[in-house]
Amino acid sequence: MPNKVRVRYAPSPTGQLHIGNARSALFNYLFARHFGGDFIVRIEDTDVLRNVPGGEESQLSNLKWLGLDWDESPDKGGSYGPYRQLERLDLYKEYAEKLLEMGYAYKEYRENSNKYAIRFKVPGDVELTFKDLVRGELKFHSKDVEDWIMVKDNGIPTYNFAVVIDDHLMKITHVLRGEEHITNTPKQILVYRAFGWKVPEFGHMTIIVNEQKKKLSKRDKNVIQFIREYQDMGYLPEAMFNFISLLGWSPTTNEEILTQEQIIDQFDPARLSKAPAMFDKDKLAYINSKYIKMLSVEELAAKCRPYLEKAGIHIPTDDWLNLLVGILQDRMSYIGEIVNLHNAFFHDQFVLKEEAFQFLIDNASLSVLETFRNHLWLSDFTPEAIEPLIKQTGLDTQTKGKPLFMSLRIATTGDNHGPSLPISLALLGKDRVIKRLDQTISQLRGEL
């Protein structure tokens, strides 16, 4: 690639950052960083009625959260600004006038008015061919393209005109975008040709589909589609970056958990898929859980704290929080899940399942539970203090292995399996453990 690579992401400030737009931004970013080029963010704000307050800030803040940085933008400046289309109207007017003068465009007056739109004059018999970075050679014929409006009668340019002027003046070398733009490409190539400008290389990424293989729609309520929602739920930005990079691109290895540096290093447009990319919710949960497991208990506890506090859950001490997070870390697929996991662990409705209760009967667990309960009156309630009491209970009742540990676990947590028993009991607290033991003992006595 002889020229310095320059790519851009050009969102409209019309709402939150959607997963599809995030992927477009991410792939352009990866392309630029892999080839040592520039990544530009440009705001296409000419559809004034659809712009929303804070739309631009939302786009930029969500991209930053994902881990993207850029070389030029409205908030950063640069040598090729301004980077908002509404601040570039004089440029579009200048180039529209040139096309009128050269005979590549004409005025179309509104009836009974001196206001006019400007249409591009499509040549009659021209074949338009370009090599798509993803799909290979694509051909269009000019007879299939109608004369199209370049500038509306209010002076605002349309997308297909403004994007060419911006991309040329900003020296964009490669345009990576969604496949819905394929039919726009011949119109844009005609504008490049009219001015005698070099045409950038185009690459059109395939659509993203849901698990039913249908195109991801903003009306699809089964898939969370906005980056902000993932941020609010407690997905990790590194995991989202990793997952989105795999939506239509495959790494050179079979590994799926990759750092940003590894993805940049391996990124190659030749490995962009020609098949639709499926948004696999289970895969996202798996990837995010892997990143959660990489955190230290202290790091994860700090991230969990705001979710627990917002849910009104009392955190007695930092040590208690670290214990809680430590035993639930392997079960979490996103940080906000700590609330549900906490509530399931500390549920007040303590009901033993029939199968678990039968285990207690079959293993004559009553003496184990009674002995352990009696020991608890003499103890403080840390994991270090509880562990020898379990051992002592085993010695006193001549019980070990499953009949000892599973009996105590079932009688106090309701589960057959789980994390460290001393830690689980310490987290539940002495009052709750004794209450559950008493309830289970009473049930067993009633069965005997």
- CA 326, 327, 333, 335 torsion: positive or negative? negative
Torsion of CA 417, 420, 426, 430, to 10 degrees: 40
- Give the position of tokens 């352009």: 28
> Which residues are part of the catalytic machinery?
218
Tokens of 130: 């370009």
Q: Which of 365, 357, 447, 375 shows the shortest CA–CA distance to 407?
A: 365
Q: Which residues lie across from 132 on neighbouring strands?
A: 136
Tokens of 317: 């001490």
Distance CA 177, CA 78 (A): 23
Q: What are phi and psi of 289, to 5 degrees?
A: -65, -35
Contact of 423 with 327, CB cutoff 8 Å: yes
- The vertex-65 CA angle with 60 and 69, nearest 5°, equals 60
Q: Which of 137, 232, 231 shows the shortest CA–CA distance to 185?
A: 137
